[in-house]
Amino acid sequence: MSDLEYTLRFLVLHLDWLAVLDILLVTLVIYGLLALVRGTQAVVLLRGIIILGVATVILTAFLRLPAFSWLLRNSLPALLISVPVIFAPEIRRALERLGRAGAGININTREAEQEQVIEAITTAAVRLSERRHGALIVIERQVGLKDRADTGVHLDALVSVELLVQIFYPNTPLHDGAVILKGARIQAAACIMPLTSGETITDRQMGLRHRAALGISEVSDAVAVVVSEETGSISVAHNGRMIQRLDPARLRHILSAFYRPRGGGGVMRSLKRALSKPGPSDEAPRAVGD
């Protein structure tokens, strides 16, 4: 009996439900880590770590290199400490997603007020789109955006179509930046948002507003509505993904899905249901950043 056959027979004989559970947990952890870094700059770092690890195993297994082995043994603790530092954004994003899993928009407004907010955002986005006025509207959910609101001008005003359109009128003091909505009120305007760190953006029509929308959706659970200044197209960003070229009906359905998710599947199931509804646009919306 060969060594391989002996090893396989040993594994099969000692395989029980705890061993299967152990293997599944390790597989899920590895898959989760790969899913987190997919489409980000961390992929290049992870590829470099894998290449370095494979090269090290090959060198130490087939060649006697005492000096190199000594260097590896002494540098391994430093490498283990540096890995969490390198992947800190991805780890933070995973913990935030775990903490807010299944949560809806954290607002205390009544259903009638929710409908008014949704209608105000939709109408304002359509007017801004018709005039080719760029806009970025960020809706706060479970994760607070006070640190981002502090970078802009504090307003604390009721959401209205006229106010949103006026804020994003070109060359006005508040047009350059994002508006943050908290509940049924505009918390602040001209706010600075983080730009996305992903490398999956290839669309030339996606400028700084789109990158900022993706960026804030990557570091929080916020929903961002973007109006392109170049094309007038309306997009929605959430959870590091962007759905582009939305008509008013689909935009209204998407916002309703985020405000009032139904069923056990939560927000994403409601969002898929909203996107499946027919709209007046001939061109279907497309999602990027996934």
pLDDT in tens, 70-88: 877 777 777 777 777 766 7
The greatest distance separating any two alpha carbons of the chain, rounded to the nearest whole angstrom, comes to: 82
Check if the beta carbon of residue 180 is closer than 8 Å to that of residue 187: yes
What mean pLDDT comes out for the span 101-129? Answer: 76
Residue 142's SS3 state is: coil
Q: Which amino acid type is present at position 176?
A: D
Q: What is the pLDDT of residues 45-66, one digit of tens each?
A: 677 777 877 887 787 777 777 8
**What DSSP element (H or E) covers 66?**
helix 66-86
The number of angstroms, rounded, from the C-alpha of 174 to the middle of its chain's C-alpha atoms is 26
Residue 227's SS3 state is: strand
Domain ranges of the chain: 3-99, 111-288
Residue 64's SS3 state is: coil
Residue 23's SS3 state is: helix
CATH entry 3.40.1700.10 includes domain 111-288: yes
| Rounded Cα distance, 148 and 215, in Å | 12
Helices 248-259 + 111-131 axis angle, to 10: 150
What mean pLDDT comes out for the span 223-242? Answer: 91
**Strand bridging mode 286-288 / 223-227:** unpaired
189 φ/ψ angles, rounded to the nearest 5 degrees: -130, 165
